[in-house]
Structure 1
């Protein structure tokens, strides 16, 4: 594949479709300097974006957390996504909506007078973790921690919150892992760099309480599916030592979908029947 800035196609930018290579911003864009940016990752299956309106609503909410007002409604953002998909001829694709403070009268920490801009792009994308969808991902443990809600708006899907994700994933990949698991500021198990995490023990599912990280839309969907199957789901604080006692593990996220985990650092997990069942059920749901 060519670089992401050098492709044929269309990107929706500030109310209109533009040529891919023309979707540019100025070097003095506020978001480039101060991380005043929020985004969503979504997947389109068979011509339908899974839970698209929920993602658009969360995008607007994330912007509000960062004191930004996106000048487009949920309905207008949805229309932009489908216009972009149609222009590129895609029925199965990853969709990226991103809003940011652009260049304007302010170029400092304060940027109240700068416009909030919006773009919607997409690309055709397979399994985020490659063959881990079948074999199970191998995950390291990050030396960084998810921050306290007193330090940053942790429930926003904000670009600045992902810097430690990039650093942690690079370090994990250098060590032969696919991803990295974060603990939170208190030392509890939190999430991976772009996915929530679930564990299985004695037929019950345990997942970290999302009180200092994003409560993913895929996470919420999977919890609902498990409950519909009559499986008990326990949302709680999980201590790192408990990893040794869990039997199965999987990740959830728009990019990850439902991906089994076979290893976290020195702990090994079975890619078992419940993991495979929920992965299959999720695949069926998003394509229905």
Structure 2
């Protein structure tokens, strides 16, 4: 694949369709220096973005959490995404909507006088973890921890929150792993670098309580699928040593979809029937 700044096509920027290679921002954009940026990752299936409106609503909520007043409504964001998807000519695609503080009169920490900008780009993207989606991903355990809600707006999908994700995923990949698992600031199991996590024991599902990390839209979708099937779900704090007693494990996320996990550190899991059933049911749902 070509570099992401050197492709054919167009990107929606601030209400206009811009040639892909010309979709640029100034080096003194506030977001580049102070991480004043939020975004959404979405997937389109058969020409329709799954849970599109929920993503648009969360984009606005994330911007508000970072004190960035959004110049666009949910309906306007929806229209921008639809226009970008149509212009791409793709039916199955990844959709990235991003909002950031641009360059303006402010270049210190404060940026109230700088414009809030938005872009939507669309590109083809296959399985996030490659063949791990069938065989089970292998995860490292990160040395970093998800922070306390008292230190940062943990429920915003904000660029700055992904700094430790990049560091952790680089280290994981250097070890031959697909991803890394975070504990939270208290030592409980939290999430992977870009996906929520589920465990299975004795036919029941256990998943970390999202009180200091993003409650993913795919996570919420899978929780509802499980409950509709009458499967008991425990949303709770999970100690890392409990992983030795779990039989199955999977990750959820817009990019990850539903990906089975075969190993986390020294803990091993089977790619069992429930994992396969939920992965298949999710695939059916998004393409319905």
For normalisation by structure 1, the TM-score amounts to: 1.00
Deviations 1:172-228 (A, max 9, x none): 000110000000000000000000000000000000000000000000000000000
Matches of 1:223 and 1:168 in 2, distance apart? 27
1:187 is aligned to: 187
1:209 is aligned to: 209
1:80 aligns with 2:71: no
Matches of 1:107 and 1:140 in 2, distance apart? 38
Q: Which shifted more, 80-89 or 217-226?
A: 80-89
2:232 is aligned to: 232
1:175 is aligned to: 175
Once the two structures are TM-superposed, the CA of residue 69 in structure 1 deviates from its matched residue by 1.2
8 A contact 1:101–1:111 mirrored in 2: yes
1:22 is aligned to: 22
Report 1:1-288 matches (<5 A): 1-288=1-288
Deviations 1:132-161 (A, max 9, x none): 111000000000000000000000000000
Once the two structures are TM-superposed, the CA of residue 123 in structure 1 deviates from its matched residue by 0.7
Once the two structures are TM-superposed, the CA of residue 82 in structure 1 deviates from its matched residue by 1.0
Matches of 1:175 and 1:46 in 2, distance apart? 36
- Runs of 5+ consecutive residues of structure 2 not aligned to the other structure: none
Deviations 1:16-67 (A, max 9, x none): 1110001000000000000000000000000110000000000000000000
Matches of 1:69 and 1:283 in 2, distance apart? 35
Once the two structures are TM-superposed, the CA of residue 271 in structure 1 deviates from its matched residue by 0.1
Matches of 1:10 and 1:254 in 2, distance apart? 23
Count matched residues.
288
Once the two structures are TM-superposed, the CA of residue 76 in structure 1 deviates from its matched residue by 0.7
Matches of 1:220 and 1:141 in 2, distance apart? 24
Once the two structures are TM-superposed, the CA of residue 270 in structure 1 deviates from its matched residue by 0.4
Once the two structures are TM-superposed, the CA of residue 12 in structure 1 deviates from its matched residue by 0.1
RMSD over equivalenced CA pairs, Å:
0.4
SS at match of 2:142: strand
- Runs of 5+ consecutive residues of structure 1 not aligned to the other structure: none
